[in-house]
Amino acid sequence: MFRVVFRSKITQKLRAFLPSSSRRPHIQQDLHSDYNANMDTSNADWHDSYLSRLLSARFMEILGLVLLICAVGIAASLLSFNPHDPSFNTATGTQPTNLLGRGGATLADSLIQWLGLGSIMPVLILLAWTWRLVRHHNLDKPLIRFIAAFLLCPAGALFVGTFQLVVPGLDVAWPASSGLSGQVGVSLAHRLLNVMTAEMGSMGNLVAIIIASLLVVLLIPFAMGLHSHEWRSVAYGIVTLVRWPLRALRQRQPNHPSQAPSDQHLYRPQAGGPTRNGAIATTGNSLPSGFLRRNLVRQDPRILPTSLETPSHLAASPAHPWMHPPQSPSPWQQPHENEASSSNPPKVPQPEPVEKPTNPYGEKLAHIYRDSDRPAPQPIVPTVDEDDFENEDTPSTPPQHTSKPSEGAADFLKRFISRTREDDPSPATQQAAPPLSNYLTPPPPETSAQQPSPTTPPIRTNSVGKVTEVAPPYPASGWLPPSLDLLNPPPASHLVGPSEESLKANAQLLESVLRDYGVQGTINEYRAGPVVTLYELEPAPGVRSSRVIGLADDIARTLAVLSVRIATVPGRNAIGIEVPNSTRETVYFPELLHSDEWKNGKSKLPLALGKDIAGEPVYADLAKMPHLLVAGTTGSGKSVGINAMILSLLYRLSPEDCRLIMIDPKILELSVYDGIPHLMTPVVTEPPKAVSALKWAVQEMDRRYRLMADHQVRNISGYNDRIRRLKASGKTPTRRVQTGFDPETGRPVFDEHRLTLEHLPYIVIVIDEMADLMMVAGKEIESSVLRLAQKARAAGVHVIMATQRPSVDVITGTIKANFPTRISFQVTNKYDSRTILGEQGAEQLLGRGDMLFMQGGSRITRVHGPFISDEEVEAVVADLRTKGEPVYNADVTADEEPEESAPSRSNSKSNSDSDGNSDLYQQAVELVVREQRASTSFVQRHLSIGYNRAANVIDQMEREGIISSANHVGRRNVLMSRSELEDSEDEET
């Protein structure tokens, strides 16, 4: 009983001490007072009610403590999470590093893997429930709270996952493999975005973010169960936490006596002394300088005195530390000013009239002190009462001039001191105040003697030190690309798309055709393109996609069109049916080069491919592919597509940035480009020289790798950037290379080798017909192409390989595996389509540039290639020839081994080998003279020997005068007749 009465008295004292704003009704507010008032009653019901309320209060406190322990435990397990600890997803024999051991590691891994950042929601919910229970507040409608808390966790993960998928640049380092939003967040975000984008298009991303945000905002109040005044307390606490570092920065800022009022200039009444408003001043408490400086009221200059003397009662009061000026001078204070301030009170400068501020701090401190013994006008100074001391540490509405959280400390101090100068713009203040830049502006960096000269090309360096070119990829020598006027402009009436009425009629006709074949479904959307129209069929439940795809030929026959292509739409419950338009539009090459996407593109090796089925331009970067495999039958538009790719490179890149090696076994396709300055060698038409060119490309790739290793870069872009910086700085780079060992000590010996500063252009190898090369020298061609496809990307060597016969003997499995980016024009059958693309559909294309583009092994896109006439190609080539002569490299098509005479080769071999070679040579001579045909492939096929051996035999025949040298088309004439061969055989006999 004594304990209850004692607690009641303590409660009353605390309630009287606390401010009125913190007195809120709760269950135990009048618990003990009611007991004291009814101590003598004999009502048994009242005693039962009192005990039940007391037990209920104790139970809520215990439950709150349990929830607090759970929240702290979950938070500790999350903060000490280690993905290598043993859990459901990780099997290891090491001891867990989690603060809660194996159980904490398992709990943290499960929460982070499933919810990601949403795993913080259970901690916040438990803390909110703990706060209510320890303050004896019941959880209103607990079932709703539990349901809302259960839904809030995945909603938080959904919110994070939606932002992660929509907003780029949020892929931060995260210890879990599931990402920031966890598996639940990623799955829900994907589903929400798919639904929204399918219904609203590009606006679906914004709507998805709004929906996820609303879910979190609506579920938080229901899950936490806090009332409005409790939410205000939470907001006040957050504001207080934010204000603490700002207050610390203000208090650390040194105050100049002429810039801000110091403590010795302020009037402070004696303890218990009267104030102007009758308020009692407190004692033993000093006002923080930041508080007074922040809350100083702009005074009216008409009643502000020119001087302020210390009152007599204040001088006689006990000395406090805050009542005396500092003993050590301030960094901004001169010695004579310090002495003057210690002897006589300083003069307060009279400020100019200023407007009354609208600052909430200035409006709150309306009370001012005034000495009652002095006649009017009395000095006006800020008044502070007990509430002001309490509000100093309690949250309040932030002022208008408070710096934003993103501001730095230096920006905050600059704005604060500049505001203080505006308050006191006297000449003395302006002269005594040192410039702010002396304290806040960092010293300028030392100028290096090796900075780039102003004549170097502009270079931009990001935070990681990578240099990116700002200027276009044209050399400093003044190279200008060909004019777009050389290309024929598209006619004004070339855009003739189908009307809306015809599209609707075709959609209804297509639905009826599908119903005739037993396929139920509705066409909800259609998009018309320049060549085909895509109808999206939403099939009825139970309809298989393969069944609809198999009806392509029947649907084309029923609709009376050339062909119909059917494929599933990725990411949607729809099947796309591409039907040719009745009137086909032509895509012109100048349209692609006039678009903003082409002009502002940042691709290294851009290719203008054409337009998609929606009529949007399609561009690709050959540097990212990194190689391209093209297939198509005769008349499908393959050669025109190759011309469009070559002209794309010629219009964007200069000869110093891109060099071309063209291999054309058919002689007629690429010979038009002969003589342009971008070529490294004349257009290669002979298979032996093609083999030599590919082998040189492999050797050049290896050489470039050695150069990049010397300069310690990883790709050609970084290498050229480094060379550009070194040339601009005038440095001569060296590298320390080990040359041997010291014979006496055995230590390695190093030498400094100078590195070459050679600019490396991109090299694009265009092979127009791969089937002819594979027929002549299949193994050598395949080995060289494979090496380039596997390693040449970083070295800047890229291959565009085209063929009109995409069979398995031409496009082997190894070649197909190393060319992930492929383009298929129209092919003859579905087997060729599967060879080039891995699936059928290319046999249903319309020809004349209609293609299927598969980039990087991803989904296939239908593209309509542009049309380029031969006259346009010749005009561009003629313009390029006038800009400069090509600089050929003779090593590109040179023989791999130097030529040797027949006697030297026979002397270097054994007798048996020379006997075998002589017999083989005699057989070859008889074959060539008898058939009157001389070529390496002819001898190789008939004698079943290798290409190199057949080439050596042909060269020996040429040296001995049996056949002539190759003419401009590669043909050789047989100079020996059959009768001469028989006479020579008779003479030998």
Predicted confidence (pLDDT) per residue in 693-716, tens digit: 999 999 999 999 999 988 889 999
Concatenating the DSSP letter of every residue in 209-250 gives HHHHHHHHHHHHHHHH---HHHHHHHHHHHHHHHHHHHHHHH
> What pLDDT sits at residue 840?
85
CA distance to 609, 774, 970, per residue, from 663 (Å): 21, 13, 14
Q: State which amino acid sits at residue 48.
A: D
Residue 797 pairs in a beta bridge with 763
d(CA 867, CA 640): 7
Residue pLDDT, tens place only, 780-790:
888 899 999 98
Read off φ and ψ for residue 460, nearest 5 degrees. Answer: -115, 130
Q: Tell me the per-residue pLDDT of 56-112, one tens digit each, with 9 for 90 and over.
A: 778 888 888 888 888 888 888 888 887 777 777 676 667 788 888 878 888 888 888
Q: Which helix (H) or strand (E) holds 861?
A: strand 860-864
Neighbours of 708 (CB within 10 A): 20
Treating both helix axes as pointing N-terminal to C-terminal, what angle do 947-959 and 911-931 enclose, rounded to 10 degrees?
Answer: 70
How many other β-carbons are positioned within 10 Å of the β-carbon of residue 8?
Answer: 17
Note the pLDDT tens digit of each residue in 428-441.
334 444 443 343 34
From the options 3.40.50.300, 2.30.110.20, 3.30.365.10, 3.30.70.141, give the CATH code of 604-726+763-883.
3.40.50.300
Chain centre distance of CA 772: 43
Residue 136 and residue 28 in contact, taking contact as beta carbons nearer than 8 Å: yes
Strand 381-382 relative to strand 368-369: parallel, antiparallel, unpaired? antiparallel
Q: Which residues contact 672 (CB under 8 A, 6 or more apart)?
A: 870, 873, 874, 877
Q: Does domain 500-580 have CATH number 3.30.980.40?
A: yes
Show the beta-strand stretches assigned E in 883-950.
none
As given in the structure block, the two tokens for residue 911 are: 């007798």
Alpha carbon 749 to its chain's center: 46
**pLDDT tens digits along 869-892:** 999 999 999 999 998 888 898 889
Provide φ and ψ at 415, rounded to 5°: -70, -35
Cis-peptide into 682, omega within 30 deg: no
Residue 263 CA to residue 382 CA, distance in Å, equals 12
Return the number of other C-beta atoms located less than 10 Å from residue 118's C-beta: 26
pTM listed for this prediction? 0.47
Residue 370's pLDDT is 39
- 306, with CB counted inside 10 A (0-12, 13-18, 19+), is exposed
Say how many C-beta atoms besides its own lie within 10 A of residue 625's C-beta: 21
Beta partners for 734?
754
Residue 82 burial (C-beta neighbours within 10 Å; 0-12, 13-18, 19+)? middle
DSSP symbol at 632 = -
Q: What is the pLDDT of residue 169?
A: 59
pLDDT at 175: 67
Low-confidence ranges of the chain (pLDDT < 70): 1-50, 89, 91-93, 136, 138, 168-178, 251-478, 493-496, 857, 895-917, 968-969, 988-989
Give residues with Cβ within 8 angstroms of 437, minimum separation 6. Answer: none
743 neighbors 775 (Cβ within 8 angstroms): no
- Which residue from 494, 386, 287 is spatially nearest to 17, judged by alpha carbons? 386
Q: What type of residue sits at position 527?
A: R
How far, in Å, CA of 817 to CA of 811, rounded? 10
Task: Write down the domain spans for the chain.
Answer: 46-226, 297-341+352-402, 405-439, 500-580, 604-726+763-883, 902-988
Percentage of the chain lying above the pLDDT 90 cut: 17
- 741 pairs with which residues across the strands? 748
For 240, the token pair is 């207080």
Architecture of the CATH domain 902-988:
Orthogonal Bundle (1.10)
Two tokens, residue 205: 């991303």
**Over the Cα atoms of the chain, what is R_g?**
44
Strands 381-382 and 658-663, sheet pairing: unpaired
What pLDDT is stored for residue 62 in this prediction?
85
